[in-house]
Amino acid sequence: MIIIYILTYFYGVIEMALEMKPNCEKCGYEFHKKSNAFICVQETTYCRECAENLYYVCPKCNGELVVRPKAKADTKTVMGDR
């Protein structure tokens, strides 16, 4: 049963890590529902433009910046939409 405990623990950590922060860390861009936010392992959030300018590397922790998954996928949202 220890495995279930560990999985539950990690799921909680991941959920916390993916919590949306309201602004871009670099330029202060305010994210809206359809924003393509980029996030690093340390929960630092960047807008698409800043992530591009940073070559998808977080300057704070040197971690990779990845697109923050949306709760509901929207096919109408393209990468060009900040």
Residues that bind Zn ion (CB under 5 A): 24, 26-27, 29, 40, 42, 44, 47, 50, 58, 60-61, 63
53 or 75: CB nearest Zn ion? 53
Q: How close are the terminal C-alpha atoms of the chain, in Å? A: 43
Closest CB 4 distance from Zn ion, rounded Å: 30
Closest CB 53 distance from Zn ion, rounded Å: 8
Cβ atoms of 34 and 77 within 8 Å: the answer is yes
Q: Distance between CA atoms of 58 and 55, rounded to whole angstroms?
A: 9
6 or 61: CB nearest Zn ion? 61
Cβ atoms of 39 and 69 within 8 Å: the answer is no
26 or 70: CB nearest Zn ion? 26
Closest CB 6 distance from Zn ion, rounded Å: 25
Q: Please, how many CA atoms are within 13 Å of residue 24, restricted to the half-sphere of its CB? A: 22
